[in-house]
Amino acid sequence: MSRFASGAASAALGLALAAAAFGARAGSELTRTTAVEIAVVVACGLVLAFAAARGRLADGPGTLTVALFAVLAVITAASIAWSAAPDLSWVEANRTLAYAAVFAAGVAGARLAPSGAPALLRALLLAVALTIGYSLLSRVFPAALAENEVYARIATPFDYWNAVGVTAALAIPPALWLGARRSGHQPLNALAYPLMGLLLVALFLSYSRGALAAAALGTALWLAVVPLRLRSLAVLGLPVAAAAPLIAWALSHDAFTKDYVPLESREAVAGEFGLLLLGMVIALLGSGLAIGFRLSVRAPRIALRRRLGVAALGFSLAAVVFAFASVALSEQGLAGTVSARIQEATNERAATAGGPQRLTQASSARAEYWRQALSVFSERPALGAGAGAFALTRLRYRSTSFAARHAHGYVVQTLSDLGLVGIFVSLALALAWAVAAARAIGVSRLRRGLPASADRLALAALALAAIVFALQSAIDWTWFVPGPTIMALAAAGFVAGRGREEPAPDGTVHAPPAERTLTLVTTAEASDGLNPASPPGQRPSRPDRHRSLALAGAVLVTTGLCAWAVYQPARSEAHAGRALEHIEADRLPEAAREARRAAEIDPLSPRPLLVRAAVEAAAGRERPALELLQRTVREHPSDPQVWLRLASFQLRTLEDPNAALETLRGALYVDPQSRSVQALYYETRAAQRERAATS
């Protein structure tokens, strides 16, 4: 692939990844998320179809991981059959299908372009630079970009601060690769320095403890695996030194440390923050250029490199010893501090600060969410309550009125939703990917002390980006945020599909023999019908060509069907929304037609039934409205909102407090902490007493 084609591919893919991140945001809005999922399924389907037409979709590296991911997607979709919230399970099945498509496309991309790891890394860095840059700019121009952001932690564009943190964290290994590699153009490599500075600032200002821990572990793994340690320390150390004053300045202003600060106060410091940010970027870019050109002229002497390495190791050991000593010599001592932290982490009532103070705290709401997830799992340990059903099944076990859709951890969420079957498939997938990644990176060659190729370094950066995301999402719900998840899965898929390196007799390392074929054919070869999967100089047989084309056609048909299936919940929601608009405009026949259409499209959702009941009630047909509400309760007994709607109709429209009270008892069983249900319960009891007094 030419340099221009590689750069164009990186730019196009990077913009696509950034568009997915901005489009889906937190992944909680059905319409926005559906649009991104459809685009992802179609784009990945085209990649898979092209790979099939080229004969690259048969057995090869990454086949087992793709198969296991497909099994996970099938189990997620199958859970609709036993789910406590089948409509939510359909939505999660669509999400998992899109993720599986991204992973499979990454594997196919590695087979089509085995040397494409640098292009993918540049695309990831471009996507992260755009998203993280926008996050920081939201504090430079708060009125224009983040007017409604009221928390100290930066959350734009995901509307979730931990998603900002993990996006910055997963880009640190690729940024180290960009700045530390010996290949590439020095001006491009120098961009790693200002980018690393932006990543560190965004990572810290998100105040995401999980993302910081994952980033630290990913950096440690990079330094342990990659031999370019001194170069990497320069790429990391200079941005740390440059970002530290800016972070210290931010910690001295309420706009970055306190929640609910007025917009005027945030705007008052925005200009200064922007100037400091710009100064940091310019200084780091200059430093990166100077270092890069200096190293290209003359490498440091062995003695100097040895002294720098010893100094870096000594500093690291001193930091560890200082941290250990400060804990051991504290009033509680080492054992007491560890015990206190464990109690704080498991205490469901412990308060957690919203600003930088949270970085020194172990408490969070996860203790409650994890207990709820394990309680749901204990009821249905084999298959779980259904994908996405945690949002409803947790309500019986919550002790506060806090709202949450996710269990804040992939493991506990999977146990709750898909049971032992789901967690077993997930663990099998993780193990298969780890084996494939170790083979692709060449861990065995590293143990033997053999030299590392540039290709292996790029693959290591991709693998560590995926690992950093996996570590953070294990204790958070960022798996449900499409932006960073798609980036991590694209990297993971490429690593799994790359295959192991093969040493040549001269000591160089090449792609696997099966992959050392042309990835881009010339016009003459294409017109001659040559298939890169065939041995050089040999025309593929006609049946093989026909099978490849037939498989490509099947992939395209499957892609269309999957995209159509993904669209249906949002399509039903759109019809239901139009029905409500017709009710507001007193166009009841049109409203009834739209409501019936919504129910036909998505019979798993309670919303179309509730809208149909609203149409009947608006028309004065109380009996049909009551029957529809009762049917909704029978079909969706785990949803407290349908109980609440039925009780409200019985009390306020039918004026039957006795029936409403019976319904509310069911609602309180499903969600005993619901303030809406409790308020209606007290209103119903008051109406019941008033009727008894007047009778």
Q: Which of 647, 691, 649, 685 is nearest to 669 (CA)?
A: 647
Contact 171, 465 (CB under 8 A): yes
Question: Is 313's pLDDT higher than 80?
Answer: no
Structure tokens belonging to residue 82 = 């036993």
Highest-confidence segment of 68-77, 504-513, 541-550, 682-691: 68-77
What pLDDT, on a 0 to 100 scale, did the predictor assign at position 346?
63
Alpha carbons 376 and 147: distance in angstroms, whole number: 38
SS3 category, 154: coil
Q: Which of 563, 564, 638, 625 is nearest to 595 (CA)?
A: 625
Rounded to 5 degrees, what are φ and ψ at 481?
Answer: -95, 110
Residue 367 banded pLDDT, cuts 50, 70, 90 = confident
SS3 string, 318-345, reads HHHHHHHHHHHCCCCHHHHHHHHHHHHH
Task: Count other C-beta atoms under 10 Å from residue 653's C-beta.
Answer: 12
Alpha carbons 622 and 113: distance in angstroms, whole number: 64
pLDDT one-digit tens code per residue, 240-296? 999 999 999 999 999 999 999 999 999 999 999 999 999 999 999 999 998 887 765
Under DSSP, the state recorded for 155 is -
Question: Is 447's pLDDT higher than 90?
Answer: no
The beta strand positions in 393-527, using DSSP E, are 502-503, 509-510
Number of H helices and E strands in the chain, helices first, is 29, 2
Block residue for tokens 């025309």: 539
What pLDDT, on a 0 to 100 scale, did the predictor assign at position 506?
43
Block residue for tokens 């993904």: 566
Alpha carbons 437 and 455: distance in angstroms, whole number: 13
Task: Enumerate the H helices of 442-481 as residue ranges.
Answer: 443-447, 454-473
Q: Tell me the sheet residues that pair with 502.
A: 510
Contact 438, 176 (CB under 8 A): no
Question: Is 304's pLDDT higher than 80?
Answer: no
What pLDDT, on a 0 to 100 scale, did the predictor assign at position 147?
87
What pLDDT, on a 0 to 100 scale, did the predictor assign at position 522?
34
Q: What percent of the chain has pLDDT over 70?
A: 83
Which has the higher per-residue pLDDT, 352 or 200?
200
SS3 category, 406: coil
Q: Which of 559, 532, 487 is nearest to 111 (CA)?
A: 532
Mean pLDDT of all residues in 174-182: 93
Residue 515 banded pLDDT, cuts 50, 70, 90 = very low
Mean pLDDT of all residues in 129-145: 95
Contact 635, 609 (CB under 8 A): yes
* Cα of 379 vs its chain's centroid, Å: 28
> pTM of the predicted model, to two decimals?
0.89
pLDDT one-digit tens code per residue, 315-344? 555 555 555 554 445 555 555 555 655 666
Q: How far is CA 561 from CA 140, 551, 565, 635, 677, in A?
A: 44, 15, 6, 27, 41
What pLDDT, on a 0 to 100 scale, did the predictor assign at position 345?
61
Mean pLDDT of all residues in 345-369: 75
Alpha carbons 316 and 51: distance in angstroms, whole number: 46
CATH class as words, domain 568-694: mainly alpha
Residue 395 banded pLDDT, cuts 50, 70, 90 = very high
What pLDDT, on a 0 to 100 scale, did the predictor assign at position 303?
62
CA dihedral over 509, 513, 514, 519, signed as positive or negative: positive
Under DSSP, the state recorded for 478 is G
Residue type, 411: V
DSSP readout, 306-322? HHHHHHHHHHHHHHHHH
Q: What is the mean pLDDT of the chain?
A: 86
The answer to whether the bond into 61 is cis (omega within 30° of 0) is no
Q: How far is CA 534 from CA 41, 62, 522, 531, 539, in A?
A: 29, 20, 15, 6, 7
Rounded to 5 degrees, what are φ and ψ at 510?
Answer: -125, 175
Question: Is 641's pLDDT higher than 80?
Answer: yes
Residue 91 banded pLDDT, cuts 50, 70, 90 = very high
Lowest mean pLDDT among 71-75, 375-379, 610-614, 687-691: 687-691
Contact 411, 369 (CB under 8 A): no
pLDDT one-digit tens code per residue, 663-676? 999 999 999 999 99
Q: Which of 63, 74, 168 is nearest to 422 (CA)?
A: 74
Contact 505, 482 (CB under 8 A): no
Q: Which of 414, 373, 415, 413 is nearest to 395 (CA)?
A: 373
Q: Tell me the sheet residues that pair with 509.
A: 503
Residue 6 banded pLDDT, cuts 50, 70, 90 = confident
What pLDDT, on a 0 to 100 scale, did the predictor assign at position 403?
78
Contact 137, 145 (CB under 8 A): yes
The structural domains of the chain, with segments of one domain joined by +, span: 3-297+354-361+382-513, 304-353, 568-694
Contact 137, 522 (CB under 8 A): no
Contact 383, 419 (CB under 8 A): yes
What pLDDT, on a 0 to 100 scale, did the predictor assign at position 366?
84
Q: How far is CA 620 from CA 244, 608, 657, in A?
A: 67, 19, 20
What pLDDT, on a 0 to 100 scale, did the predictor assign at position 512?
53
Residue 94 banded pLDDT, cuts 50, 70, 90 = very high
Contact 121, 178 (CB under 8 A): yes
Task: Count other C-beta atoms under 10 Å from residue 304's C-beta.
Answer: 11
Residue 56 banded pLDDT, cuts 50, 70, 90 = confident
Question: Is 297's pLDDT higher than 60?
Answer: no
What pLDDT, on a 0 to 100 scale, did the predictor assign at position 531?
44
SS3 category, 37: helix
Residue type, 408: H
Question: Is 470's pLDDT higher than 50?
Answer: yes
The helix, strand and coil proportions of the chain, stated in percent and rounded to the nearest 5, come to 75, 0, 25
Question: Is 48's pLDDT higher than 70?
Answer: yes
Burial 98-116 (b: 16+ CB within 10 A, else e): bbbbbbbbbbbbbbbbbbb
What pLDDT, on a 0 to 100 scale, did the predictor assign at position 325?
53
Mean pLDDT of all residues in 169-186: 91
SS3 category, 206: coil
Question: Is 527's pLDDT higher than 50?
Answer: no
Question: Is 508's pLDDT higher than 50?
Answer: no
What pLDDT, on a 0 to 100 scale, did the predictor assign at position 533?
45
Mean pLDDT of all residues in 584-588: 94
